[in-house]
Amino acid sequence: MSQSPFLRSIYEHMLARHYSRRTIKAYLYWIKAYINFNSKRHPSGLEAAEVQRFLTHLSVNRNVAPGTQSVALNALVFLYKQILNRPLGDIGEFRRSKREPKLPVVLTESEVSRLLGALEGVHYLMAALMYGSGLRRMELVRLRIKDVDFDHMLLRIWHSKGGKSRATTLAQELIQPLKQQILRAEEYMQQDRLLPDYCGVFLPNALARKYPNGPFQRGWQYLFPSSKRSVEPGTSNIRRHHVDESGINKLIRRARTKAGIEKEVTSHTLRHSFATHLLQAGADIRTVQEQLGHSDVKTTETYTHVLKRGAQGVQSPLSRLRQH
Mean pLDDT for the chain overall: 90
Q: What is the rounded radius of gyration, in angstroms, for the C-alpha atoms of the chain?
A: 23
Helix H, strand E, coil C: the string for 174-210 is: HHHHHHHHHHHHHHHHHHHHCCCCECCCCCCHHHHHH
For the cut 90, the answer to whether the pLDDT of residue 50 exceeds it is: yes
Cβ atoms of 148 and 158 closer than 8 Å = no
Q: Are 303 and 279 in contact (CB under 8 A)?
A: yes
What does the pLDDT read at residue 65? 85
Spot the catalytic one: 144, 271, 272, 277.
271
- Which range of 60-69, 156-165, 221-230 scores highest in mean pLDDT? It is 221-230
Residue 271 bears catalytic tag: yes
Residues of the chain with CATH 1.10.150.130: 5-83
Q: Is the pLDDT of residue 319 over 80?
A: no
For residues 260-284, give the mean pLDDT: 93
Q: Where in the chain is the domain with CATH 1.10.443.10?
A: 101-309
What residue type is assigned to position 27 of the chain?
Y
Is residue 303 flagged as an active site residue? yes
- In angstroms, the Cα distances linking 248 to 1, 18, 198, 253 are 25, 24, 27, 9
Percent of residues, the chain, with pLDDT higher than 70: 94
Which one of the listed residues 161, 184, 258, 263 is annotated catalytic? 161
| Contact (Cβ atoms closer than 8 angstroms) between residue 292 and residue 134 | yes
pLDDT for position 146: 97
Pick the CATH number of 5-83 from 3.40.630.10, 1.10.287.130, 1.10.150.130, 3.10.450.50: 1.10.150.130
**Residue 234: band (very low, low, confident or very high) from pLDDT cuts 50, 70, 90:** confident
SS3 category, 138: helix
Q: Give catalytic status of residue 32 as yes or no.
A: no
281-316, pLDDT tens digit by residue?
889 999 999 999 998 888 888 888 777 655 455 556
Higher pLDDT, residue 194 or 306: 194
pLDDT band at 92 (very low <50, low <70, confident <90, very high): confident
Given 137, 144, 166, 294, the catalytic residue: 294
pLDDT at 2: 58
| pLDDT score of 1 more than 60 | no
Pick the CATH number of 101-309 from 1.10.443.10, 3.40.50.970, 3.40.640.10, 3.40.50.10320: 1.10.443.10
For the question of residue 268 being annotated catalytic, the response is yes
- For the question of residue 256 being annotated catalytic, the response is no
CB atoms within 10 A of CB 222: 21
